[in-house]
Structure 1
Amino acid sequence: MAEKANFSNIYKFYDLINSVITLGFDKSWRNKASNQITGTRVLDLGSGTGAAFQQLQNLEVTAIDPDEKMLQLNKFKNKII
């Protein structure tokens, strides 16, 4: 899968690239989305590097991503199992 290969090549820089491409709006978009959560559990599909975890710290989060390198970085950044 070409998309997966591309993410495997840029996973270390993904958060920076995402911030630049969205002109920094990615953080405010995540804040707006997290403010609408009413439950205590979240399924984060396409979790990537786990950028949303800062807004989801008080919730039980299940993170899923097809790219293993992105998930490994997610685990390292967010100190999760």
Structure 2
Amino acid sequence: MSRYTQLTREQRYRIYILEKVVQTQTQTQTQTQTEIASTPGVHKSTTSRELCRNRGGKGYGPKQAHKLACHRRQTKNSARITP
């Protein structure tokens, strides 16, 4: 079993570029996610979660996606101790 690693900024930019290229070529969502996932070396479910989680009103933006991911990483383990 491989160890989980988070997407890097470069992988997010590759996903963004491939999404734009593949969207112009194919019509189905399944083909799009499979084709996008094959090049950056990530599983298609990772690509799907990345696109769904970080798609805003204007579509997927890699800069915004990376910023949100860093924010989630910093705040997920914050202590919640109440007096």
TM-score, length of structure 1 as denominator length: 0.32
Higher RCO (CA < 8 A, seq sep 6+):
1
Of structures 1 and 2, the larger Rg is shown by: 2
Q: TM-score, normalised by structure 2?
A: 0.32
